Structure 1
Amino acid sequence: MRIVDVNEYYTPTGGGVRTYLDRKMGILADMGHELIVIAPGREDAVEERPGGGVIHWVKAPRLPFDRNYGLFRSGDAVTALLDRLDPDVVETSSPWWIAWIVARWQGRALKVYFAHNDNMAAYAGRWLEGVADMPTVERWFGWYTRYQASFLQHYDAFVTNGTTLARRHAGRGLTVHAAMPLGIDRGFFSPALRDEKLRASLLAQCGLPADAHLLLGVGRHHPEKRWPTVIDAVEAAGDRMPVGLILLGNGVDREKLSRRVAESPHIRLFQPVYDRLRFAQIMASADALIHGSDAEPFGLVALEAVASGLPLIVPDEGGAADIAEPPFAELYRARDARSGAAAIRRLFAREPAILRAACLHAAAKVRTDRDHAAALVDYYSELLDGKRRAAA
């Protein structure tokens, strides 16, 4: 099976979608299938991946507020590539012009809209926070849901990356054909990678002794991630216990966040760690993952943390909340730093041995990215068989 993903969220500098697709390329190649990505680039280029997979970069304008990302301006280059590649399945996930480019392409492929995010929650809900509650925002932006429905009618299937996003879209009246929860690379993440010397070193960089608590935050420096809420929560919790926070990431809000933590002696900002083994060691060596985003549909970082043996402190809305289970996690009210501080204190008040045992039990059950890829291929095979029978 040849799958072509026309993806505006795939960037040269990383991110959750790139991590997901890079892994899926290798997994599908091992399974005897092929994944090709068409992504907006600064220049036209072709990038082959060892072990299977190809990226076709198509020159496209950059987004003014985050130049790592681009938007396809013309469909000609994309449709020419699709004609030449002749896929069995073509996926896309952006709701803008590219959704219509793929919808109107006349190839033989099964067309799948694969939703990775929720623009309604990530943008409209955040912009109007404090003005109206989310159900009201949903009504005001009903035109956006109707717009999605207008291009989705040209697709063979609407698939989401998990149950959170499926519930949201179904609640708006859209037909979701399948929810395909993501998985992670269990080959990297393991509680066995915990390193007490590394943990002590990270705490020292936060100006704290080895008997303090170490929190880890991972993700883009973007308003959607709500890092100021996390920082406020950690500072408030730090009034009653020794707790440090390291944030790994980069993005449009980096300067703003740097100014925000300048007077916080126990909070440090670091660039993303692209060495996967080193990243997995850092994750396993923290004491908990803390998360702020209430809008993202799937908590991939949270799942990596669980596989690393970490407990979670996450908001009660969004994809991470679906992963968090009471034995190894604490929820707090989304967007509420005071509630977040209370969740930090509750987690570290637990009996450490019991909490650790719950985390190790959860780590052994984490869904893998191979599980996800196999389920997706099986689903696409069923759809292709149905399409062939209908044509016959």
Structure 2
Amino acid sequence: MRIVDVNEFYSPTGGGVRTYIDRKMAILAEHGHQLIVVAPGREDREEERPGGGRVIFRRSPPMPFDQNYGLFWDAAPIHALLDRFDPDVVECSSPWRPAWIVAEWQGHAAKAYFFHGDNMEAYAKTYLERLAPPQRIERAFGWYDRYMASFLERFDTVVTNGPALAKRLRARGVRVDAAMTLGIERGLFSPGLRDEDLRAGLLAQCGLPPSGHLLVGIGRHHREKRWPMVIDAVQRAGATLPVGLVLLGQGLASRTLEKHVGDSPHIRLFQPVYDRHRLARIMASADALIHGSSSEPFGLVAYEALACGAPMIVPDEGGAFEASAPGYAEVFRAKDPKDCAAAIGRFFARDQRALRAAAGDAATRVRSDEDHAEALVAHYQGVIAGKRRA
């Protein structure tokens, strides 16, 4: 099978989408399939990848608020590439110009729209939550769902990256044909990576002895991640418990977070850890992963931490919640720092060995990225077969 992905979110400088696609490209190549990515770039160039994969950058204007990404506009160069490669499936995940470019292409390929996120949840409902309740915001921005319906009807299949996003979209009446749950690179993560010396060192950075409690939060500094709420909850819980919090990440809100932490002695902000093995060791060595975002479509960090045998404290909505289970997690009301603090207290009142044992058992069942790729190909094969019958 040949898949061409017209993808505005594949950045020449890296990022989560690029990590996911590069890994998928390698897995598909191992199974005899070819993935070709068409992405905006600063110049026209092509990169060949092992196994027949290819990334084609077409010179495009940069995104106004993030120069790492570009924007497609002209359909002709994209249509020419689709004609050139004649794929079995053409994928798209941007709801703006690329969706229409793919929808209007006249080739025979099955057209798949892949939801990796939800702008309604990440932006409208996050930034306007202080002005109106969620239901009112959804009604006010109902035009966005109607707009998406206008191009989704031209696609042969509409899929999401997991059940959390599928539930959210379907509740608003947005078409979803299948939830193609993502997976993680299982070989990088293991409970066996736990390092008591590393744990003690991180607690020392938080001004606490090895007998303290270590929470780790991982993610970019963006409003939808709700790190200020997590910080408030940890400070509240810290009034009665020796709790330290290490946050790994950076972003537009980094300066705001630094001010929010202030002179708190037990909370530390660190740069992202790009060394995947070291990141896995940190996850495995934490007493729990703590997560604040209730709008994430898929809890990649939560699943990676679980594969390391780390229990978790998560909100009762969103992708991270889908990774949780009572045996190894405590859940709090989304967006509520007081309830988050209470969940921290409940978590450390439980038998820590039992929590970690339950997480270690669940680690063996975390879905792999190979599982995801195989399921996605099988789904596309069914769509192609149905299209031929029709």
Cα 1:203/1:41, change in 2 over 3 Å? farther
SS in structure 1 at match of 2:188: coil
The residue number in structure 2 matching 1:285 is 285
Q: Which residue of 1 aligns with 2:54?
A: 54
Instruction: Identify the residue that residue 88 of structure 2 maps to in structure 1.
Output: 88
What's 2:226 paired with? Answer: 226
Alpha-carbon deviation of 1:160? 0.8
Tell me the amino acid that sits aligned with residue 358 of structure 1: A
In structure 2, list runs of 5 or more residues that go unmatched. Answer: none
1:82 Cα shift? 2.0
C-alpha distance in 2, partners of 1:46/1:284? 38
Aligned partner of residue 320 in structure 2, secondary structure: helix
Distance 2:316 2:152 in 1: 30
Code of the residue aligned with 2:300 in structure 1: it is: L
Mapped contact 1:329–1:347 kept (Cα < 8 A): yes
Q: Structure 1 residues 221, 44: closer, same or farther in 2, change over 3 A?
A: farther
User: Could you say which residue in structure 2 is the equivalent of 1:184?
Assistant: 184
What is the one-letter code of the residue matched to 1:199?
A: R
Q: How far apart are the structure 1 equivalents of 2:202 and 2:335?
A: 27
The residue number in structure 2 matching 1:307 is 307
- Residue 329 of structure 1 aligns with an amino acid whose one-letter code is A
TM norm structure 1: 0.95
Match of 1:363 in 2: 363
TM-score by length of 2: 0.96
Decide which moves more: 89-98 or 19-28. Answer: 19-28
TM-superposition CA deviations, 1:252-310 (whole Å, max 9, x none): 22222233224222222222222211111111111111111111111111111111101
- Deviation of 1:131 (Å): 2.1
Q: Distance in 1 between matches of 2:316 and 2:162?
A: 16
CA contact (8 A) 1:26 1:52 kept: no
Secondary structure of the corresponding residue to residue 274 of structure 1: coil
Aligned to 1:64: 64
Alpha-carbon separation, structure 1, partners of 2:225 and 2:50: 33
Tell me the distance in 2 between the aligned counterparts of 1:349 and 1:15. Answer: 38
Partners of 1:222 and 1:367 lie apart in 2 by 27
TM-aligned CA distance change 1:108 to 1:121, over 3 Å: same
Query: How far apart, CA to CA, are the structure 2 residues paired with 1:2 and 1:13?
Result: 25
Task: Give 1:18 shift.
Answer: 2.3
Give 3-state SS (helix, strand or coil) of 1:250's partner. coil
Relative distance call for 1:385 and 1:279 in structure 2 (3 A) is same
What amino acid sits opposite 2:21 in the alignment? Answer: L
Residue pair 1:95, 1:148 contacting (<8 A) in 2 also: yes
- SS of corresponding position for 1:22: helix
Give runs of aligned pairs for residues 1-392 of structure 1, distance below 5 A. Answer: 1-50=1-50, 53-390=53-390
Deviation at 1:2, TM superposition (A): 1.0
| Residues 61/263 of structure 1: CA separation in 2 closer, same or farther (3 Å cut) | farther
Further displaced range: 215-224 or 114-123: 215-224
Return 75-84 or 303-312, whichever deviates more. Answer: 75-84
Shift of 1:380: 0.6
Of residues 34-43 and 341-350 in structure 1, the stretch that sits farther from structure 2 once superposed is 34-43
Counterparts of 1:13 and 1:288 in 2: how far apart (Å)?
31
What's the offset of the Cα at 1:145?
A: 0.7
Q: Using a 3 Å threshold, how does the CA distance of structure 1 residues 189 and 196 change in structure 2: closer, same or farther?
A: same
* AA partner of residue 125 (structure 2): G
Q: Point out the more displaced range, 65-74 or 185-194.
A: 65-74
SS of structure 1 residue aligned to 2:148: helix
Equivalent residues of 1:65, 1:252 under 8 A apart: no
The structural deviation recorded for 1:152 is 0.4
Aligned 8 A contact 1:16 1:300 in 2: no
What CA distance in whole angstroms lies between the structure 2 residues aligned with 1:52 and 1:225?
Answer: 37
Deviations 1:134-159 (A, max 9, x none): 12211111111110000001100111
**RMSD of equivalent CA atoms:** 1.6
One-letter amino acid matched to 1:168: R
Q: Read off the aligned partner of 2:162 and give its amino acid letter.
A: G
| CA–CA separation in structure 2 for the residues paired with 1:256 and 1:217 | 17
Q: Displacement, 1:373? A: 0.8
Aligned residue for 2:187, secondary structure, equals coil
- CA–CA distance in 2 between the matches of 1:124 and 1:263? 32
Q: Cα deviation per residue 1:311-362 (whole Å; 9 max; x = unaligned)?
A: 1111111111122111111111111111111111111111112111111111
Following TM superposition, by how much is the alpha carbon of 1:189 offset from its aligned partner in structure 2, in angstroms? 0.7
Aligned AA (2:201): S
Q: CA deviation at 1:78?
A: 2.3
Q: Distance in 1 between matches of 2:83 and 2:239?
A: 61
**How many residues matched?**
390
